[in-house]
């Protein structure tokens, strides 16, 4: 769609709130004309020089009222983010100023950009493929350094490269099949079913399966996990939360039932985003407020990826502890023996023997002992690795990519089954095109407008 004249769009490209700099971005065929109406450079030139910042003032057309002193830059197509003419006006980061400049841009001929429309134009104009466009959003939303690394790799074309290698292999096979279709009367068999099947089974299907595995294993580094701390009142749940956060987030007192509601915070464990949830102590209570908090605790436990059952190691296991454990069900469970500083050691040994089917970690939430071991246990339980995430992947496909890859993989297996029965070249070509279409959905060659609207609708306005 490159070269198609779209309406000129404008939006504030920086986050809301005061800041040193704010940016209004304008893209489209009228961008330079709008800049010439609003911007008065301190040193006028015959024509703006592309990709050079100029100092001057934004003035209201007609009255000449100064809105702000700014730096403005014009980026001529196709050497811009959208491959259209783009203008950026860098003003002081006051929302009132930015909003006024945006209104003036609209009055001068631009319309307000839709969410993600700048990046959508970059995709439609061929600057980015769809995986790279999605990587822009992941780059903005990354919560850990590992997630940031994966997003940057995808932005630089890592996933596209994997898909393109598979597509190239399929196109070579397709060329052979099309020759067989064009020359059906040749005495020599053009199609070698066993060779094609071998290529699928040894190269194409394993490559797709590896990417699907990367999506499954790496999902936690994109989306994170929920870890819920449960236990009877006053076993140290809030103290554990504070120690994991390294700050006094939850109130800690000797009085049981201090926490009346769930408390949620974000932490990072070995590059993995973790939403840690401190819950109200679960017990029978006649207090209406506490009972509401207990019900919320049970709801959070049902939504958890990992449950930390906190026990007081200095006391015998209580029947309520066992009931809580039975309520966890099939969730991944770690038994956390707190207050080990009050024990002689045999109490922890007894807990490890009693709960031998679960990881048991002894800690002191008050003094911080055992916290590193607990974090390692959480990471290991979720990822199956101990030291850190090292899957050998340069990128992690998202759920949309994974669904398309699964369809492509299934179509590959159908094609291999057809080779056993020796389908006609025409039917093989149809099956092969099905695989290519599914892979085309990933990079954007065969993606519907509805899917594009959904993807770019997740972006903020201005990006």
Tell me the per-residue pLDDT of 375-394, one tens digit each, with 9 for 90 and over: 999 998 988 766 555 555 67
Do residues 197 and 463 touch, judged by C-beta distance below 8 A? no
Q: Residue 70: what pLDDT?
A: 97
Distances (CA, A) of 167 to 171, 181, 408: 6, 20, 11
Q: Residue 280: what pLDDT?
A: 65
Q: What is the largest CA-CA distance in the chain?
A: 91
Do residues 230 and 310 touch, judged by C-beta distance below 8 A? yes
Q: Residue 252: what pLDDT?
A: 44
Mean pLDDT across the chain? 85
CB-based contacts of 269, cutoff 8 Å, min separation 6: 375, 378, 379
Range in 63-72, 120-129, 147-156, 369-378 the model is least confident about: 147-156
User: What is the pLDDT confidence band of residue 310, given thresholds at 50, 70 and 90?
Assistant: very high
Do residues 335 and 359 touch, judged by C-beta distance below 8 A? yes
The H or E element spanning position 276 is: strand 272-278
Q: Residue 187: what pLDDT?
A: 43
User: What is the pLDDT confidence band of residue 186, given thresholds at 50, 70 and 90?
Assistant: low
Do residues 241 and 265 touch, judged by C-beta distance below 8 A? yes
Q: Residue 460: what pLDDT?
A: 83
SS3 3: coil
Q: What percent of the chain has pLDDT over 70?
A: 87
Burial code (b: 16+ CB inside 10 Å, e: under 16) for 12-23 equals bbbeeeeeeebb
User: What is the pLDDT confidence band of residue 1, given thresholds at 50, 70 and 90?
Assistant: very low
Judged against a pLDDT cut of 90, whether residue 319 lies above it is answered with no
- Residue 87, judged by CB atoms within 10 A of its CB (0-12, 13-18, 19+), counts as buried
Which region, left, alpha or beta, applies to residue 126 given φ > 0 means left and ψ of -120 to 50 means alpha? left
User: What is the pLDDT confidence band of residue 2, given thresholds at 50, 70 and 90?
Assistant: very low
- When mean pLDDT is compared over 10-19, 64-73, 191-200, 302-311, the highest value belongs to 64-73
Q: Residue 260: what pLDDT?
A: 45
Range in 110-119, 219-228, 419-428, 449-458 the model is least confident about: 419-428
The H or E element spanning position 171 is: helix 158-182
Do residues 250 and 263 touch, judged by C-beta distance below 8 A? yes
Q: Residue 254: what pLDDT?
A: 47
User: What is the pLDDT confidence band of residue 255, given thresholds at 50, 70 and 90?
Assistant: very low
- Bridge partners of 294, per DSSP, are none
Judged against a pLDDT cut of 90, whether residue 302 lies above it is answered with no
Judged against a pLDDT cut of 80, whether residue 286 lies above it is answered with no
Q: Terminal CA-to-CA distance of the chain, rounded, Å?
A: 19
Range in 8-17, 59-68, 261-270 the model is least confident about: 261-270
Range in 5-14, 145-154, 198-207 the model is least confident about: 145-154
User: What is the pLDDT confidence band of residue 447, given thresholds at 50, 70 and 90?
Assistant: confident
At residue 47's C-alpha, the angle toward residues 43 and 49, to 5°, is 85
Closest-CA residue to 413 (of 213, 206, 216): 206
Residue that wins the pLDDT comparison between 147 and 389? 147
Judged against a pLDDT cut of 80, whether residue 407 lies above it is answered with yes
Range in 48-62, 139-153, 281-295 the model is least confident about: 281-295
Query: Which domains can be identified in the chain, with CATH numbers?
Result: 9-129 (3.30.1360.120), 137-220+398-443 (1.20.120.430), 224-383 (3.40.50.300)
| 59-107 pLDDT, tens digit each | 999 899 999 999 999 999 999 999 999 999 999 999 999 999 999 999 9
SS3 406: helix
In whole angstroms, what is the distance from residue 236 CA to residue 343 CA? Answer: 15
Judged against a pLDDT cut of 70, whether residue 283 lies above it is answered with no
């Amino acid at each position: 769609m490159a070269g198609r004249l779209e309406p000129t769009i404008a939006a504030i490209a920086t986050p809301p709130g005061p800041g040193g700099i704010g940016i209004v971005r304008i893209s489209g065929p009228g961008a330079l004309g709008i800049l010439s109406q609003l911007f008065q450079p301190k040193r006028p030139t015959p024509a703006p020089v592309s990709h050079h910042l100029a100092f001057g003032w934004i003035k209201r057309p007609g009255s000449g009222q100064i809105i702000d002193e700014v730096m403005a830059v014009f980026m001529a197509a196709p050497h811009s983010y959208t491959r259209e003419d783009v203008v950026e006006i860098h003003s002081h980061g006051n929302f009132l100023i930015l909003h006024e400049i945006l209104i003036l841009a609209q009055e001068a001929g631009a319309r307000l950009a839709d969410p993600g429309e700048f990046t959508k134009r970059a995709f439609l104009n061929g600057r980015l493929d769809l995986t790279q466009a999605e990587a822009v959003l992941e780059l903005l939303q990354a919560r850990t350094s590992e997630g940031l690394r994966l997003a940057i790799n995808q932005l630089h074309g890592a996933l596209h490269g994997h898909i393109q290698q598979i597509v190239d292999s399929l196109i070579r096979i397709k060329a052979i099949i099309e020759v067989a279709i064009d020359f059906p009367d040749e005495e020599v068999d053009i199609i070698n079913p066993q060779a094609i099947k071998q290529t699928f089974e040894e190269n194409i299907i394993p490559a797709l399966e590896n990417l699907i595995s990367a999506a499954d294993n790496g999902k936690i580094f994109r989306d994170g996990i929920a870890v819920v701390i449960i236990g009877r009142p006053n076993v140290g749940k809030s103290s554990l939360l504070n120690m994991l956060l390294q700050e006094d987030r939850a109130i800690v007192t000797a009085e049981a039932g201090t926490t009346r509601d769930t408390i949620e915070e974000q932490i990072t464990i070995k590059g993995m985003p973790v939403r840690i949830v401190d819950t109200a102590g679960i017990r029978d209570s006649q207090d209406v407020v506490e009972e509401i908090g207990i019900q919320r605790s049970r709801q959070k436990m049902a939504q958890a990826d990992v449950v930390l059952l906190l026990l007081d190691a200095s006391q015998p296991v209580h029947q309520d502890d066992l009931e809580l454990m039975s309520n966890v069900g099939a969730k991944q469970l770690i038994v956390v023996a707190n207050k080990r500083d009050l024990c002689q050691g045999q109490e922890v040994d007894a807990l490890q023997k009693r709960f031998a089917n679960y990881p048991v970690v002894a800690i002191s939430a008050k003094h911080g002992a055992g916290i590193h071991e607990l974090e390692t246990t959480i990471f290991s339980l979720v990822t199956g690795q101990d030291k850190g995430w090292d899957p050998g992947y340069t990128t992690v496909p998202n759920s949309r990519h994974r669904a398309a890859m699964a369809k492509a993989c299934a179509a590959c297996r159908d094609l291999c089954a057809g080779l056993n029965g020796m389908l006609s070249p025409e039917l093989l070509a149809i099956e092969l095109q099905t695989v290519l279409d599914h892979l085309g959905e990933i990079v954007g060659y065969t993606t519907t407008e509805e899917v594009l609207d959904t993807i770019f609708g997740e972006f903020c306005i201005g990006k």
